Amino acid sequence: MPRTVRQTVTAVHIVSSVGLLGVAGAVGVLAAAGQAHAVPTLVHTLAIPLALLGLLTGVLLGLGTRWGLFRHGWVSAKLVALVGVLVIGVVGVRPAVDGLRAGDAGALTTVIVLNATQLAALLVATVLSVTKPRTLFRSRHLATRDPTATTSPSTRRAAPPPTTTQQEVR
């Protein structure tokens, strides 16, 4: 993927993901504060489109960069988390929001619980993006591989020069 395209897709991915995190937080606060009338607008007009945009740009980045979709466990975990957020939104939150519009009192609790689940998944995905843990879901093949080896001999890193200690110098 060309550099400018990758940077643009990355920027759109970050903005949509942060936007989704903000919308999820706002939905939770509004629902908990009893301002349920504002929740449907946020869910229908912002949350689901932002989740779809985040998923699309994440898949593009996974396919078009060295990270891959399934090469690193943290990327796969982020993919699962975002798909989970989207499924919970479409299958759970959206119908519950429609129930709020109809005056169903039990729908408010459903929105709050499902929204908290979405918010937790999004926070986990954010932490994974920042920390990029190398050991998450690491396969035996990757665990035994030489970390300095690459697929191309021309890009293989040279071994660092041996260090000398004070005793060796004397």
**pLDDT the model gives residue 90:** 87
Alpha carbon distance 118, 7 (integer Å): 27
Full pLDDT tens readout for the chain, 170 residues: 899 999 999 999 999 999 999 999 998 888 888 777 778 888 878 888 999 999 999 999 999 988 888 888 889 999 999 999 999 988 998 888 888 878 887 888 898 899 999 999 999 999 999 998 887 655 544 555 545 545 544 444 555 656 665 555 55
**pLDDT the model gives residue 37:** 77
Q: What is the DSSP string of 77-117?
A: HHHHHHHHHHHIIIIIIHHHHHHHHTT-THHHHHHHHHHHH
